[in-house]
Structure 1
Amino acid sequence: MRVLVLTKPFGVLPPEELAAQLAEAGADGADLLVRDGQTVTPSTSWRIAETARALRGNGLETGLVSTDLTSADSEAERVIGHCAEAGVPLMRVGFYRYDAGLDYAAGLDRARRDLASLAELAARHGVRLVLALHHGTLHPSAAHASRLLDGRDDVLVHPDPGNQAKEGSEHWRLALDVLGGLDRVGCVGVKNAVWEPGEARGSWNCRWQPLADGGVVPWPTILPGLTELGYTGPFSLHVHYPADDPLTAVRRDLGYLRGFRSEPRIAPPAR
């Protein structure tokens, strides 16, 4: 199990300090978020290479860089070029948002064109793109992502059952079958959430919570199932819930996640 940690909760830590904390937490590497307020921002994408060196110095990999890029422009050229220079194999694209006030077909067509331009740019640099299944987008499920990716085999998919819990759920095995199997999966996002009664009568809210505390996503079933299918790609652990001490939160969730590797698989009862 190769576990990357999304660097979002660590904010603006310098590369060396970020790498040291990820190593102390027990990660195998980083899912490096390039965003304002982070170690690397879109305007300082040259720091991707600096951060990758710091990670290597701590025995860690830069397995994935996550961005908000959705089309090929000068910023995308710069960020993807720096990913290539740093030897980053995968880059997560941004989110193609769903707008209920706009025509779905037109929005999907525009997203396809933008993604195609971004994929072609990445291919020229030797970087593979991944598309996350994410709530509030045109690609919240495997079926919707498949519509967006129709005819494209140069973009991998980033399943994320935690994200999907925001809009409902999708059976993890069905999602893989719809996508075309494990060969189409670049990374698997890991987090959990809970649904709680809202203030308005009959309303419910979904909020993130520590992976180690459980939640609506059945990770005790999903993780062994992926192992049995032969998944060998990376997992990306996301700590999206409030945490005063990100290092402690990440270390706790990582310990819980790695526990699935050592637990014996319980055989189903004989019929």
Structure 2
Amino acid sequence: MRVLVLTKPFGALPPGELAEQLAQAGADGADLLVRDGQTVTPDTSWRIAETAKALRGNGLELRQVSTDLISADSESERVIGHCAEAGVSQVRVGFYRYDAELDYAAGLDRARRGLASLAELAARHGVRLVLALHHGTLHPSAAHASLLLDGREDVLVHPDPGNQAKEGGEHWRLTLDVLGGLDRVGCVGVKNAVWEPDGAPGSWNCRWQPLADGGVVPWATILPGLQELGYTGPFSLHVHYPADDPLAAVRRDLGYLRGLRSGPFQSEPFQSEPFRSEPGTAPPAR
């Protein structure tokens, strides 16, 4: 099991310090976020090679670079070109946001054209694109991502049950079945979340939770289930919750994740549970 760490919580650490922190945390490599305020920004994408070298010097790999790119332009050319030069095999594209005020079909068409232009650019550089399943986008689930991909076989998918929990969730086996199997998976995002009342009557909020503290995503079932199916690709650990000490947070969540690998596998049947009413309650409306 190869576990990458999304570098977001480490902010703008210099490449050498970032590599040392990830090595101390016990990661196998980095999922390098290229964004303003990070070790590498879109304007300093030449530092991707420097970061890759620092990681290799600490026994780690730079397996994936995550970006906010959504169409081909001069910035995309520069970032993807530097990824190729650094030997990065996968680039995660940005998010094609859903806007309820706009026409869905028009938004989907625009997103398809943007993704197609990026895929053509990546192909010229020998890099594979990865599309994450993410809340608030046109691709929050496998089915919606398939509509966006529109038959494209040159873009891999990045399932992320934690992200998907923000919009209610999707059974992990259903995700794989809709995508067409493990061959379509470039990486699996790992995080957890909890739903809690937000103060207003009847209103709830989904917030990020340390992986080691559990949450709504059943990783104790998903991880061994993926391994049982033969998944050998990378996992990308995300620490999105506030952490005063990112190194300690990443180390703790990594330890928990690796512990699940050796834990007993308990199958989770894919079926809806019957409603069991308490005295004085009625079944949910359908």
TM-score strictly above 0.5: yes
Offset at residue 266 of structure 1 (A): 5.0
The C-alpha deviation readout for 1:196-236, integer Å capped at 9, x for no partner, is 00121100000001000000001011000000000000000
Cα separation, 2, equivalents of 1:177 and 1:267:
17
Name the residue aligned to 1:78: 78
The C-alpha deviation readout for 1:98-140, integer Å capped at 9, x for no partner, is 0000000000001000000000000000000000000000000
Letter in 1 for 2:243: A
Letter in 2 for 1:140: P
Offset at residue 264 of structure 1 (A): 3.4
Name the residue aligned to 1:8: 8
Cα separation, 1, equivalents of 2:31 and 2:160:
14
Judge conservation of contact 2:221–2:265 (CA < 8 Å) in 1.
no
Letter in 1 for 2:97: R
Letter in 2 for 1:77: E
Change (3 A) 1:136 1:244: same
Name the residue aligned to 2:276: none
Report % sequence identity. Answer: 88
Letter in 2 for 1:216: V
Cα separation, 1, equivalents of 2:247 and 2:267:
35
Cα separation, 2, equivalents of 1:267 and 1:110:
41
Residue 229, structure 1, aligned to residue 222, structure 2? no
Name the residue aligned to 1:243: 243
Offset at residue 25 of structure 1 (A): 0.3
Larger Rg: 2
Residue 113, structure 1, aligned to residue 113, structure 2? yes
Judge conservation of contact 2:32–2:62 (CA < 8 Å) in 1.
yes
Name the residue aligned to 2:100: 100
Letter in 2 for 1:22: L
SS in structure 1 of the partner of residue 170 of structure 2: coil
Offset at residue 151 of structure 1 (A): 1.7
Name the residue aligned to 1:55: 55
Offset at residue 37 of structure 1 (A): 0.2
Change (3 A) 1:230 1:169: same
258-267 vs 78-87, greater mean Cα deviation: 258-267
Residue 253, structure 1, aligned to residue 260, structure 2? no
Offset at residue 96 of structure 1 (A): 0.2
Offset at residue 90 of structure 1 (A): 0.3
Cα separation, 1, equivalents of 2:264 and 2:205:
35
Cα separation, 1, equivalents of 2:120 and 2:264:
44
Name the residue aligned to 1:125: 125
Offset at residue 265 of structure 1 (A): 3.1
Residues 1-271 of structure 1 mapped to structure 2, 5 A cutoff? 1-266=1-266
Name the residue aligned to 2:274: none
* Unaligned segments of structure 2, at least 5 residues: 269-286
The C-alpha deviation readout for 1:156-209, integer Å capped at 9, x for no partner, is 000000001111010000000000000000000000000000121100000001
Question: May I ask how many residue pairs the two structures share in their alignment?
Answer: 268
Cα separation, 1, equivalents of 2:78 and 2:266:
49
Name the residue aligned to 2:273: none
Offset at residue 267 of structure 1 (A): 7.7
Cα separation, 1, equivalents of 2:265 and 2:203:
38
Cα separation, 2, equivalents of 1:190 and 1:77:
29
Q: Any runs of at least 4 consecutive aligned residues in structure 1 with deviations exceeding 6 A, and if so which? A: none
Cα separation, 2, equivalents of 1:170 and 1:64:
24
The C-alpha deviation readout for 1:51-71, integer Å capped at 9, x for no partner, is 000000000000100000000
Cα separation, 1, equivalents of 2:19 and 2:225:
31
Cα separation, 2, equivalents of 1:267 and 1:195:
24
SS in structure 2 of the partner of residue 87 of structure 1: coil
